Each structure stands twice: as C-alpha cells, then as structure tokens.
Homo-oligomer: A and B are copies of this chain.
Amino acid sequence: MVQTHLKKRIEIILEAPALHRLTDRLNQAGVTGYTIVPVLAGRGRDGSWSAEGLAGDAGRLVMIISIVDAAKADDVLERVYTLLARQIGIVTVSDVQVIRADHF
C-alpha cells in the first residue's frame, strides 16, 4: 500500500481583481504552493455572472486551490476569511491524502 499523509485542501472562489491580495496572504501564511483555475460563470446570492465577453477583470471570478498542512490550515483560513469578509467569494476546506508529505 502506498503510504499517504493527511493534508487540508483549501478551495477558494474569489473575484479576479482581488487575486493578488489573496496570494499575498497565502504566501504570508507560509503555504508551500497554490494553483489557480479559471472559472467560466456562476451564481450566488448576488445573482449570476459570466466571464464570457468580459474585457476586464471586474465581474470575473477565479478558483484557487491550496494543499496545506493541517497545522497551518487554521491560520490560512483566518487570513483568507478576513479577505473574503470584504471581497466576493467563498472558501471550503476538505481532507485529502498526499503521497510526498515533504512537498507541502
């Protein structure tokens, strides 16, 4: 059996203009990495939006995935939360297993 280690997967959906603010916070929290995935469209409490045809960043969202050590997760979440209190977006956390624990 492959030896795996428990980590936290933090998934954030955030408005694009605030992306740098988020990655700054992630870096400050000492996460070892993150990955940014494009988002096409969505709906939330504020109605629906779509990236189609947009020439600017406002009104567009992106998704950020970061695999973090369980010990760091709380700190990361708090920093992300204070940002999300003011910007449009959501954050979820889930358990994942990784193979190389040292990578994260």
Chain A interfacial positions (CB closer than 8 Å to B): 1-2, 4, 7, 9, 11, 13, 23, 27, 32-45, 61-63, 67, 74, 77-78, 81, 84, 90-100, 103-104
Contacts and interface: CB of A to CB of B under 8 A. Distances in A.
A95 B92 CA distance: 10
A34 B40 CA distance: 11
Given A33-B44, A42-B35, A94 B91 contact: no
A104 to B, nearest CB: 8
A21 to B, nearest CB: 15
Given A9-B94, A94-B97, A95-B94, A23 B38 contact: no
A69 to B, nearest CB: 13
A5 B67 CA distance: 19
A44 B61 contact: no
Contacts of A67: 90, 92
